[in-house]
Amino acid sequence: MGTATETLPFQAETRQLLDIVIHSLYSNKEIFLRELVSNASDALDKLRLSALEQHALLDEDPLLEIELTPDSRARTLTVSDSGIGMTREELVQLIGTIAKSGTRELVEQLKAGSSGEAAATLIGQFGVGFYSAFMVAERVEVVTRKAGADTATRWESAGDGTYTVSEASRFRRGTDVILHLKPVDPESGLADYTSTQVLKALVKKHSDFVGYPIKLKEVKDGVPAWTTLNSMKPIWTQAASEVGDEAYAEFYRHLSHDWQDPLDRLSLRAEGRLEYQALLFLPSKAPFDLFYRDQEYGLQLHVRRVLIMDRCRALLPPFLRFVKGVVDSADLPLNLSREMIQQDRQIGQMRTWLTRKVLDHLAAMLADRRETYLKFWSEFGPVLKEGLAQESEHADRLLKLLLFHSTREAPEPTSLAEYVARMPEGQASLYYVAGESRAVAERSPHLEAFRARGYEVLFFVDPIDEFVAQSVHEFEGRPLVSVARAGVEPGSESERKAAEDARRARETELRPFLAFLEQTLGDTIREARVSSRLTTSPACLVAGEHDLSPGLERLLRQASGKDDEGVTKRILEVNDGHALVAKLRALHAASPEDPSLADAAHLLLGTALLAEGAAPPDPAAFAAKLATLLTRAL
Ligand code: ADP
């Protein structure tokens, strides 16, 4: 530290990102202004929010505004704000590095070959607004003074791998971003960003609703004058017909730092004991950090149009963390602290109401705009499912929103209600098969009897589906059942009873052979029984009625880091109608001491495990036994 000028390298990922911003993003360069204005507006918000507790910050300098100063001779454009500012450390931390989760993944994806539009989409979704300055400037200077500090810092870079920081002076708190503009070049989308006309149009188009005045410096006959360019109208208080889709989209981009259009929006108004309005957006793409623990989320909370909290988590449950937007209350006190918000009863009621409204909106989307819903589902489906695994309060609404692929072989997933509507006569339960992937689930031997009956079975192949299955036991009064559980078979009650009686009779006959299997495979299986569910496979493993499913057990083991501990033994079901089982049984009856019997038993178990995508307990031994057997057979 000190007054000296330091030259520092950008962090590797930042450099790569910058390189892509500078060299690959061709279209829509004008968005740099929206991004810098958004940052300025955020900095002003932060100052205002800090001043709620430290009044001196605002009393010293009550001016809250954004200034645009073009200089056509020097070919610079300066975007200034009187916001929170940055310290030297913050400047290095916030601008020199990208400390976000998912940065490496983003750079990997970008390097994997997306250019132009696709890169812009990825970068925009990630939110690196400041760097967009390098699309239009060959050099960028930042001069910033943190609120409450005496000194300022200058940051400067040509976006070429390094930047410099040095001490500077600034008259008051806040930040100037000085763009040394590239030459005007309409062909590569570079307009004259020192032209007051161009700047006026850009602010109107992208930033009209910003809540602070955006003032443009115009010099007429040598006399400078400031013109406010934006209307500052809070967009959520206006009628939708007055606003228009494009302005809503701009507002969404401002709020979310996303560069794309939102997928959908909802305007809500609660009138009753509590009066509040909300303008909420669903993004069209899931953000990179959706599943990271440190993901920042929450709605902006305003009280009578004044922002009182930026990312208020208390207004929505975690399973709706992807929703962006604003809530504006008429009743809450202006001085509500973060701690109070967590416990406030009104906030709790608002959260319940908002959650219901969002879920109802999604249900309507599924009913009326399926294409849109499918897009939504492919991005955010797994997050919604968390809601079922975490809490039961909204389970009924959430269940209606679930989509699954199934044995129906349709390109589109099905809802539970649609599944029920297709259930043939006699089918009383909803069935699912769990697996690591659709390909594995599809080939599960557990499906055989259901296929034979023409019953549809849902694929639970998302890791979180195991938790969904664990917490959801029925849908509209009908049980939701895994096909891989002991005793689960298709058919009506009386059919199942008849099948069970027949099975038992066969089992008595096969008892000596089953006992042999239990003895030989006792390390891995709990019990061997005759199956009535298999038609083509010789054997499969099923979970006991009250056991955790193997998939869930695996997830829990991974989560606890104890990989091999406490695996619940399952039941081996054998298909006594299968030729292999018949032969083994005959061999066992004739010469119970035959050494190849044990090998065959291990192979039978191993293939049952392979069929569900799992590995035999000792893969090397399995392979050796198989090779020996094949050699003998060929
Ligand atoms: P994002 O705004 O999406 O987080 P940016 O790259 O645009 O990403 O900015 C990085 C960070 O730098 C911001 O989160 C903010 O903390 C800080 N920053 C940027 N511009 C300003 C500004 N004008 N005043 C204060 N801080 C700023």
Single out the residue in 371, 392, 408 at which a domain terminates.
371
- Evaluate whether 77 touches 29 at the Cβ level (below 8 Å): no
Residues 257 and 186 in one domain: no
Look at ligand 1, atom 12, and give the residue with the nearest C-alpha: 94
Look at ligand 1, atom 8, and give the residue with the nearest C-alpha: 128
- pLDDT band (50, 70, 90) for residue 566: low
Rounded Cα gap, residues 211 and 235, in angstroms: 10
Single out the residue in 337, 371, 405 at which a domain terminates.
371
Q: How far is the CA of 500 from the centre of ligand 1 (A)?
A: 67
Residues 166 and 301 in one domain: no
Which ligand 1 atom sits nearest the alpha carbon of residue 83? Answer: 24
Q: How far is the CA of 128 from the centre of ligand 1 (A)?
A: 8
Residues 181 and 56 in one domain: yes
Three-class secondary structure of residue 435 per DSSP: coil
Whether the full predicted model's pTM is greater than 0.85, yes or no, is no
- Evaluate whether 468 touches 388 at the Cβ level (below 8 Å): yes
Residues 205 and 353 in one domain: no
Residues 297 and 170 in one domain: no
Instruction: Work out the angle between the directed axes of helices 579-590 and 596-611 (0-180°, nearest 10).
Output: 160
Please give the average per-residue pLDDT across 368-392, as a whole number: 93
CATH number at residue 184: 3.30.565.10
CATH number at residue 245: 3.30.230.80
Element (H, E) at 157: strand 152-157
Q: How far is the CA of 97 from the centre of ligand 1 (A)?
A: 11
Which ligand 1 atom sits nearest the alpha carbon of residue 127? Answer: 3
Report yes or no on 425 lying in a domain.
no
Per residue in 32-75, pLDDT (tens digit) is 999 999 999 999 999 998 998 888 999 889 999 999 999 999 99
- pLDDT band (50, 70, 90) for residue 544: confident
pLDDT at 113: 66
Nearest to 122 by CA among 21, 273, 235: 21
pLDDT at 564: 58
Look at ligand 1, atom 3, and give the residue with the nearest C-alpha: 127
Residues 15 and 45 in one domain: yes
Q: 364-367: long-range contacts (C-beta < 8 A, 24 or more apart)?
A: 365/264, 366/400, 366/401, 366/415
- Evaluate whether 573 touches 533 at the Cβ level (below 8 Å): yes
Q: How far is the CA of 130 from the centre of ligand 1 (A)?
A: 6
Handedness of CA 196, 197, 198, 202 (dihedral sign): positive
Q: DSSP secondary structure string, 528-553? A: EEE-SS-SS-SEEEEB-TTSPPHHHH
- pLDDT band (50, 70, 90) for residue 1: very low
The pair of three-digit structure tokens given for residue 114, joined into one six-digit string? 């997306």
Please give the average per-residue pLDDT across 98-111, as a whole number: 73
pLDDT at 115: 58
Report yes or no on 459 lying in a domain.
no
Q: How many domains does the chain have?
A: 3
Look at ligand 1, atom 20, and give the residue with the nearest C-alpha: 39
Q: Are strands 458-460 and 430-434 parallel, antiparallel or unpaired?
A: parallel
Q: How far is the CA of 553 from the centre of ligand 1 (A)?
A: 43
Report yes or no on 439 lying in a domain.
no
Rounded Cα gap, residues 395 and 410, in angstroms: 26
Report yes or no on 14 lying in a domain.
yes
Report yes or no on 558 lying in a domain.
no
Rounded Cα gap, residues 321 and 383, in angstroms: 8
User: Over the chain, what is the mean pLDDT?
Assistant: 89
Q: How far is the CA of 422 from the centre of ligand 1 (A)?
A: 53
pLDDT at 99: 62
Residues 164 and 204 in one domain: yes
Residues 218 and 264 in one domain: no
The pair of three-digit structure tokens given for residue 85, joined into one six-digit string? 């500012």
Question: Using a 6 Å CB cutoff, which residues line ligand 1?
Answer: 39-40, 43, 81, 83-86, 94-95, 127-131, 175, 257
Report yes or no on 300 lying in a domain.
yes
Which ligand 1 atom sits nearest the alpha carbon of residue 257? Answer: 3
Domain enclosing residue 87, as ranges: 5-228
Report yes or no on 430 lying in a domain.
no
Backbone torsions φ then ψ of 30, nearest 5 degrees:
-60, -20
Report yes or no on 495 lying in a domain.
no
Which ligand 1 atom sits nearest the alpha carbon of residue 130? Answer: 7
Per residue in 174-184, pLDDT (tens digit) is 999 999 999 99
Instruction: Work out the angle between the directed axes of helices 493-520 and 579-590 (0-180°, nearest 10).
Output: 50
Single out the residue in 309, 340, 371 at which a domain terminates.
371
Q: How far is the CA of 81 from the centre of ligand 1 (A)?
A: 12
